[in-house]
Structure 1
Amino acid sequence: TNLIIPGLNDSEQEINEMVDWISSLSKDIPLHFSRYFPCYKMNISATPIFILYKARDIAQKKLKYVYVGKI
């Protein structure tokens, strides 16, 4: 599971690099993208849903099992 946090790990480049690495191991490895929600002292906004879908679309080009959660 990969928690997508806006401004920290939500860039297309970073997602592509992660997907490339996972797919080099096996295209059958499932990948879950989870939405971040702020709590306690975190002041970053919740992950916009469109970013999760964009990450999913990128990953589905190279992996068979891609899931989005916490929507």
Structure 2
Amino acid sequence: MSRTQVETAPADLQLLCASAVAKSSGVNSAKILPVSSSKIDSKTYQVELDAGGKKTSCLVDTEGNVKSVEPV
């Protein structure tokens, strides 16, 4: 039985997503917490965040460009 390794987004990319969610939602950035993250492909991570009780998904690339912010 093999274990699959999920690669999580680096902390700086998770913080970029949190900032993007704060800007788009108007929620104080102190209330936005990354819940989970995973690597989608070689250059893109998906970060799931809790923005004051609202679940939000963010796509960010390895260069630090936020691709999308969407409620879940």
Q: Same fold (TM over 0.5)?
A: no
If the length of structure 1 is used for normalisation, what is the TM-score? 0.31
Q: Name the one with the larger helix percent.
A: 1
If the length of structure 2 is used for normalisation, what is the TM-score? 0.31
Q: Name the one with the larger strand percent.
A: 2
Q: Point out which structure has higher relative CO (alpha carbons under 8 A, 6+ apart).
A: 1
